[in-house]
Amino acid sequence: MPFTLEHIKNIYFLGIGGIGMSALAHYFHLKEKTVVGYDRVESIVTKQLEEKGIKIFYTLDEKHIEGIDLVVYTPAISRDCVELQAADRLGIPVLKRSQVLGKISETYRTLAVAGTHGKTTTSTMLTHVLNQSGASCTAFLGGISNNLKSNFTYSESDLMVVEADEYDRSFMTLKPDIAVITSMDADHLDIYGTPEAMQENYLAFSAQAQRLVVHEKLSQFFPKEKTQTFGMHQGHYRAENLRYGNLTTVFDFVSPDHTIRDITLHMPGQHNVLNMVAALAVSVNYQANIADLKSAVESFSGIYRRFQVHYHSSQITYIDDYAHHPSEIEAVISTARALFPERELTVVFQPHLFTRTRDFAEGFAEELSKADRVILMEIYPARENPIEGVDSSWLLEKISLSEKYPVRKEELTGKLKRLIQSPSIIMTLGAGDIDRKVEEVKKLVSDFDNK
């Protein structure tokens, strides 16, 4: 008999503080399951779960899974983990996060957003627009929505928005009604080996969808009969007449049947306009009220660590962003330059993963060299062991700036204090634990501006 979730009562999440795992934990808690979990460190995410009464352990012990009906884990958890081994020994079912999400999605009309870049932003935008324009949805998001103050929202409707993650081929568990594909740049080559192999998996994922909404630059890869496109000045759905304001972007949205003029997006950058156009394209396909779309976009207040402005004045602005791929760094730097062309730009970057640093070193160096000054932190290893010869010093040598500085995490604010000046932009970038320095940097910037 196929495994089902209906009769599961007690669920244990290994890595419950992960952004994807915590959304599942919220869902099952709402469904009145007993949810327990483990994570290595306390975080904003784990605190939110604990506030709902979910028990979280911060040490591993096989006793934690006594009485558990299902253990859910992520690829970041080693199969040598004592709790996974105990589950195997006790005959407790063990599933990956992606498998559980796939099973949940079978009961919904699923709108899945995939892409090397933009999937978190686009899925969060789509959730907000649907919920603000008469087409409510349940959503499992890869980031914390500023509007929701969460990465999860629930609706009684049969519509579900989910971020479709290509890492470890996780998105292959989904069979969406609509799949959005924002980009297919090379990434996760530790999993796929080659860019071509990664692209083949995107195509396999797209074949499982009933309909597709894809960036117009990717249209040649997909069957025309089930594909609609979005883009900047091109595509079935497109943005036109872009204008930059003070930390905003104004644009016109053009679809085959409607034009909505002068929409203000409070999340600057051309890349974010494209993400919103994709979200609007899907919303139009799901009978969202056209009259509500403009106000829905304008009430969207962004996502944690996606071009998040923590301090802004006439002299200095501090922005934090999750960017951890050369294309993402290019997008945030070009946006900052467009908004504040007269200011000096200091970028603090924490590389994420030894393999990613090795595979895209030239791209990282090229994009970081577009700043005026770079402060480079040590590589955040996440799930990986070090690779000989691949470290921050090696990457720093490739950056073609005279002002480039290595720094350990604990030295960051001291280094910034010596270098900070005005008028300027300070940006902290990376997908590791650099976000734990945000409050320190924010205070430093504020003190400097007000001295």
Per-residue pLDDT reduced to its tens digit, 221-253: 999 999 999 999 999 999 999 998 889 999 999
pLDDT tens digits, one per residue of 319-354: 999 999 999 999 999 999 999 999 999 999 999 999
- Cβ atoms within 10 Å, residue 217: 14
In the chain, what's the furthest Cα-to-Cα distance?
Answer: 69
| Cα gap 231→110, rounded to integer Å | 23
- Domains of the chain (ranges; CATH) run 10-96 (3.40.50.720), 108-298 (3.40.1190.10), 308-450 (3.90.190.20)
Q: For residue 286, give the nearest of 389, 424, 132 by alpha carbon.
A: 132
Tell me the Ramachandran region of residue 358: left when phi exceeds 0, alpha when psi lies from -120 to 50, beta otherwise: alpha
Q: For residue 148, give the nearest of 305, 277, 30, 304 by alpha carbon.
A: 304
Q: Are 3 and 93 in contact (CB under 8 A)?
A: yes
Q: What angle do CA 137, 216, 244 make, to 5 degrees?
A: 80
3-state secondary structure the chain: CCCCCCCCCEEEEECCCCHHHHHHHHHHHHCCCEEEEECCCCCHHHHHHHHCCCEEECCCCHHHHCCCCEEEECCCCCCCCHHHHHHHHHCCCEEEHHHHHHHHHCCCEEEEEECCCCHHHHHHHHHHHHHHCCCCCEEEEEEEECCCCEEEECCCCCEEEEECCCHHHHHHHCCCCEEEECCCCCCCHHHHCCHHHHHHHHHHHHHCCCEEEEEHHHHHHCCHHHEEEEEECCCCEEEEEEEECCCCEEEEEECCCCEEEEEEECCCCHHHHHHHHHHHHHHHHCCCCHHHHHHHHHCCCCECCCCEEEEECCCEEEEEECCCCHHHHHHHHHHHHHHCCCCEEEEEECCECHHHHHHCHHHHHHHHCCCCEEEEECCECCCCCCCCCCCHHHHHHHCCCCCEEEECHHHHHHHHHHHCCCCEEEEEECCCCHHHHHHHHHHHHHHHHHC
Phi, psi of 143 (to 5 degrees): -155, 165
Paired residues of 35 in beta bridges:
11
Q: Which residue has the tokens 């899945």?
A: 112
- Cβ atoms within 10 Å, residue 206: 24
Phi, psi of 69 (to 5 degrees): -95, -25
412-419 vs 438-450: helix crossing angle, rounded to 10: 30
Radius of gyration of the chain (CA): 22
Beta strand 138-145 with 94-96 is unpaired
| Cα gap 274→29, rounded to integer Å | 34
Beta strand 159-163 with 227-232 is unpaired
| Cα gap 343→279, rounded to integer Å | 32
| Torsion (CA) 336, 341, 347, 353 in degrees, nearest 10 | 40
With a CB cutoff of 8 Å and minimum separation 6, the contacts of 446 are 311
Given a cut of 50, the residues of the chain with pLDDT beneath it are 1
Q: What is the pLDDT of residue 186?
A: 65
Q: For residue 441, give the nearest of 422, 424, 431, 420 by alpha carbon.
A: 420
Q: Are 164 and 171 in contact (CB under 8 A)?
A: yes
270-285 vs 290-298: helix crossing angle, rounded to 10: 150
| Cα gap 313→422, rounded to integer Å | 10
- Cβ atoms within 10 Å, residue 219: 18
